[in-house]
Structure 1
């Protein structure tokens, strides 16, 4: 009888441990960090399809989507920094129930325009320094099975797909890599956008393969991103899988472990 009671107590202790662990994990995910897997190529080559990262949900204070439950003791911008130009953020699409990841290029009150593929912020052009091309295999990629847009097109399946690559320096000095698939493409030239108060203008680093704030929501784009939709800031890649599934560890990219998102 004593042995049976002891066994029962052991099982109960195991169950309690598992429940506590799940509760702690749930609170940790809700309050501090959220995992995010890159499903598309709109942020190449800063972020590749298959990159796995944690989103810092405390970076800007808690918003509707970074902490949607009543357990959060703070809300809005009571604490935490404002998003800055150059930050890579994860946010809930304003009209679709989907999380997106893009780079902040326009702050409230900024005027934003693309002219011949060059980004202008408040009338000042971002500088572009040519770098070595970004090269990848021309094939169907990620869960969306999209083909990359190459600057050396046409390219046959399995061939080398090249992208013109530049180091872009935003007004204020933030540097990051951007890709270009050619001149005169869609969204290389836009009207002037004035960013409303409490909202942000975001773009993908793969400029010719990103549906972002340059594209209105009526055409499947993002439009301006309200602060309330921001989930957090992407700071560091934990690991990256070049295969179809993250669990295929033999496809993990050895050069992307704990890599900072710049």
Structure 2
């Protein structure tokens, strides 16, 4: 008698459906959509809330020096086409426009060439009459106090000796300016009447700033409200000329003591 082995039977197997992979076209669409949404969010952030800038000149010394990397808030004065991170033609009127305060440090599009962005301090508001006499500011007939703080070397031009002067507005707001000496261009001006919808702006480095004291063909002239981009708020970091936040190999050129400083 022999044992007979049972006939083998096939064990049931589960067949999983083959996973589907998105097509190359679908993947490309997802990438484009993600990048597009990211760019749109960045554009909205820069146009509506904040935008970074790098100080390119010494006209706002000593408060701001060449190489300072600053943050500008866009919302304090309302918005116009000037608020966009790129040039879009004539700035036009502002939406929800509000006047800056005297003494605010503002970034704006240069009236004669809106592709350029400049930074200055607001001195005169609509309806004001301002004049510089012997290097001292008078607004609506009242002199702004000046307190000499002694000589120093210009931060960006150390071979140049300047006088540090604390300027105090009638409101009590104060900041330090540079004076290059008597009798220089801009030390004496005729009365400047600021019309509605415009502002008078000046650099703190008074003898090294082509600002509202000078005709628009060479300086700023009177600044239209629509050209305002925003208010300078903070110095985030600072590098010597030639260095950049986006060039790590240049970070050794940091300017110490100029990090996270509020702009006054």
1:206 corresponds to:
205
1:55 corresponds to:
72
Displacement of 1:187 after TM fit? 1.0
2:107–2:232: 8 Å Cα contact kept in structure 1? yes
Of 127, 137, 142, the match for 1:119: 137
Deviation digits for residues 150-172 of structure 1 (CA, Å, limit 9, x no counterpart): xxxxxxxxx64322101100121
Q: 2:72 aligns to what SS in structure 1? A: strand
The answer to which structure, 1 or 2, has the higher relative contact order (CA under 8 A, 6+ apart) is 1
How do residues 11-22 of structure 1 correspond to structure 2 at under 5 angstroms? 13=30, 16-22=33-39
Relative to the length of structure 2, the TM-score reads: 0.81
Of 238, 241, 256, the match for 1:240: 238
2:216–2:222: 8 Å Cα contact kept in structure 1? no
Relative to the length of structure 1, the TM-score reads: 0.81
2:66–2:241: 8 Å Cα contact kept in structure 1? no
| Distance in structure 1 (CA, Å) of the matches to 2:78 and 2:152 | 36
Aligned-pair Cα RMSD in Å: 2.5
| Distance in structure 2 (CA, Å) of the matches to 1:252 and 1:22 | 30
Moved more, 187-196 or 3-12: 3-12
| Distance in structure 2 (CA, Å) of the matches to 1:35 and 1:210 | 22
| Distance in structure 2 (CA, Å) of the matches to 1:161 and 1:216 | 26
2:54 corresponds to:
37
Q: 2:53 aligns to what SS in structure 1? A: strand
Displacement of 1:133 after TM fit? 3.2
How do residues 123-134 of structure 1 correspond to structure 2 at under 5 angstroms? 123-134=141-152
1:144 corresponds to:
none
| Distance in structure 1 (CA, Å) of the matches to 2:226 and 2:241 | 34
1:102 corresponds to:
120
Alignment of 1:185 onto 2:201: no
Tell me the matched-pair count.
236
Alignment of 1:87 onto 2:89: no
2:174 corresponds to:
175
Displacement of 1:50 after TM fit? 0.6
Q: 1:23 aligns to what SS in structure 2? A: helix
| Distance in structure 2 (CA, Å) of the matches to 1:170 and 1:122 | 12
2:213–2:221: 8 Å Cα contact kept in structure 1? yes
Instruction: Decide which structure has the larger Cα Rg and report it.
Output: 2
1:102–1:203: 8 Å Cα contact kept in structure 2? yes
Gaps of 5+ in 2: 1-17
Moved more, 242-251 or 97-106: 242-251
